[in-house]
Structure 1
Amino acid sequence: MANLKEVRNRISSVSSTQQITKAMKMVSAAKLKRATNAIVQLRPYAEKLREILANVSASVEGGTSPYTVDRKPNNVLVVVIASNRGLAGAFNTNAIKTANQLIASKYAAQLQAGNVSVMAIGKRAQDYYMKRGYRVIGDNNELFMALNFENTSKIADAIMSGFAKGEYDRVEVVYNRFKNAAVQILTTEQLLPLLPPTMETEQPKVETDYIIEPSKERIVEELIPKVIKVQLFKAVLDSHASEHGARMTAMDKATDNAGELLKSLKLSYNQARQAAITTELTEIVSGAAALSAG
């Protein structure tokens, strides 16, 4: 009977876990809808902004922006975008692993010299790098509590200020790009220096003749910081949507696994109960036979 009690306790525990994972899946699905809408609406704006910058700056002789200066990358900042919570499958682990591979393959010499800094957006990444002795810049974990362009711009301003002062010669961003609820594409992008249009792999297909006031130089000067901020904001929104997609998928799988485990436990419980009943019947019959024989 002790075995039956143990199985009943496990069935109760798994049932409770299944209710929790099912609720978390529904919450993530609701949040995913809002996060997906945000990134889908931003992408056309970000692409058009870069297109305008490429068209305008192509006709400007000699750029003077401090954010386009391509220096030797002696000091590197890697921005790792993860999340504040777990239970999202390999979402956080994959982002951290990709960042580590980037550092090991591209900036091994800088790491050995102690010239690699990490800016983590998300508590999971922050805790990981702090525990391993990396130079972690700032604390941006509260961003996901109020995720908007204004708050993200403050982080971008700090990054651009450090780059302009020469504290960083290269800034790379590692994040999960959202494709759909089940697929997140690990992406590494160079945030600074901003590559000039002549170095971009994709050129605008159609050159547009814009009427520009007060001047092309002034517009480019204003556009470059805006493009950098939008690029970082897009990466954060992509990662935010990917997080909810990964969590929804993980909780859906956990719910299914709990259902399979419940079936197995109920089968074991029924078998144990039948065995106990058979044993009791055998003992009753044996006792009755013994009394009859006596």
Structure 2
Amino acid sequence: MATMRQIRSRIRVAKNIQQITKAMKMVAAARLKRAQDRVQSARPYSQKMREVMASLADAAAGAVEHPLLARREVAHTGILLITADRGLAGSYNAAVIRRAVELVNQFDPLTVRLYIVGRKGNAFFRKRGYNVVDTPQVNSNAFEFGDALAVARAVRQAFETAEIDELYVVYTKFFSPLTQRPTVMKLLPIETEAVEERGGAIATDYLFEPEPARLLGELLPRYVVTQVYQALLESVASEHGARMTSMSSATDNAGKMISTLTLSLNRARQAGITKEISEIVGGAEALKG
């Protein structure tokens, strides 16, 4: 049985941990609010971009030849994976990495090139000998559109130079602080049919100037950047949401542990007092005898 000194020591440790996790929860909550606002602000633009692209694809009717539309025999598959730099975010990193591994296993791993954002994903796949390509990194606490542009440019150039013949994006879609879902999106070659499906029903009858084919050629690179930027925003919000939830749970668990240890301490103290009283009474009885 633990001594009172040991129990007090464990209570101090639990309280210190509780203070740390509570502070991390508050920081994550503040960052989540900013990230969530950015996601909600960017979603309408991303959706409208898909609608315009779908309408352009329909109006151009296959009259566009563009490197980002090129379909060729697949010799190498590219996967852009978005993870976090840090842990303590529940199952956030493990879930999206697991989804990426499942995707890699659908192909010959030797033909897969991984473009990974985030130290956690890089460490996992490099340690296991996967073909990881150096990719521009993003600070999840302070990234801008230019960071997404650098990532999108890297994967786009790889596709245009035939280093890869198709590209998938594996990221975490944000629904709420409690709900995030690893998601796979095929980005390159851009399939106009898939864009139309994601764009939904086109309620607006657009008049295009200049001609749709020329506009489509101009918008294709921007579409790639927009989708990468949206995936980064969703992933960052998911990371902060998962970390806030995880730290909230850790704080609650620390509180329960402190209560349990305090109860054990009180019982140990009571047992000690009872023992001392018994010894005093026993000594008094012995003196009487």
TM-score, with length taken from structure 1:
0.93
Aligned to 2:206: 210
| Residue 179 (structure 1) aligned to one of 175, 179, 185 | 175
Find the residue that maps to 1:58 and give its secondary structure: helix
Q: Does 1:191 align with 2:187?
A: yes
Q: Which digits, 9 at most, give the CA deviation of each residue in 1:6-26, with x for residues without a partner? A: 000000110111111111111
Give ranges in structure 2 of 5+ residues lacking alignment: none
Higher mean alpha-carbon deviation, 134-143 vs 201-210, is at 201-210
The structural deviation recorded for 1:211 is 3.7
Q: CA separation in 2, counterparts of 1:154 and 1:83?
A: 17
Tell me: CA distance 1:210–1:227, structure 2 relative to 1, closer, same or farther (3 Å): same
Contact 2:135 2:151 in 1 (8 A): no
CA RMSD between the two structures: 1.8
Q: CA separation in 2, counterparts of 1:212 and 1:2?
A: 78
Contact 2:31 2:141 in 1 (8 A): no
- Aligned residues: percent identity? 39
Higher mean alpha-carbon deviation, 17-26 vs 137-146, is at 137-146
| Count of matched residue pairs | 288
| Residue 254 (structure 2) aligned to one of 255, 258, 277 | 258
Give the 5 Å matches for 1:4-19.
4-19=4-19
Q: CA separation in 2, counterparts of 1:258 and 1:34?
A: 28
Give the 5 Å matches for 1:59-208.
59-60=59-60, 61-104=62-105, 106-107=106-107, 110-111=108-109, 114-144=110-140, 146-197=142-193, 200-202=196-198, 204-206=200-202, 208=204
Find the residue that maps to 2:190 and give its secondary structure: coil
Q: Which digits, 9 at most, give the CA deviation of each residue in 1:212-264, with x for residues without a partner? A: 33332221111111011000110010000000110111111111111111111
Q: CA separation in 2, counterparts of 1:35 and 1:131?
A: 30
Letter in 1 for 2:265: Y
Contact 2:168 2:184 in 1 (8 A): yes
Give ranges in structure 1 of 5+ residues lacking alignment: none
Contact 2:47 2:199 in 1 (8 A): no
Q: Does 1:290 align with 2:286?
A: yes
Q: CA separation in 2, counterparts of 1:252 and 1:265?
A: 20
